[in-house]
Amino acid sequence: MRSKGRRVGLIFPVLLILIGLLWPAVFTGSSQGSAVSDPVVITNLRADYTVDSDGLMQATETITTEFPRWRHGIFRFFDVGNPNESHVRQVPEVAEITLDGKPVPYTLLWQRADRFLVAKIGDPDSYLSS
């Protein structure tokens, strides 16, 4: 009789441990959401940053991509929120955007309650060549 009580006493803690370990798999399921598909592939991204004595940062990004024939351009998102200070916004000043060394048209717009400054880069009347 004593061994039966001991067995039941061990089963309960083991069950609690198993429930604690396995509950995420039970409640979140095993299926994953579908990934967002973007036909543009970034093959290289180079960023050069310099900070002057006043703390002003200059950034130059060089992005190399592979485009399908039917694309007009890309979107570059700038998150202007500061994770250390929620009331501080760090808005970049876009001085120039070029494509193969030549100026390319772009439009700046805001998204998600002005959290992201978005550069919509490209000419809506022409397609990029691959």
Q: Kindly provide the residue ranges of all beta strands, DSSP E only, lying in the chain, ordered along the sequence.
A: 41-51, 57-66, 73-79, 81-82, 85-89, 98-99, 102-103, 106-111, 116-122
Instruction: Dihedral sign for Cα 61, 67, 71, 77, please.
Output: negative
Work out the end-to-end distance of the chain between its first and last CA atoms, rounded to an integer number of angstroms.
79
pTM to 2 decimals? 0.65
Longest CA span, the chain? 88
Per-residue pLDDT reduced to its tens digit, 68-119: 888 888 899 999 999 899 888 989 999 999 988 999 999 999 999 889 999 9
Per the structure block, which two tokens stand in for 79?
């998150």
Per-residue pLDDT reduced to its tens digit, 50-77: 999 998 899 999 999 888 888 888 899 9
Domain coordinates of the chain in residue numbers?
Answer: 41-122
Rounded Cα–Cα distance for residues 81 and 17 (Å): 41
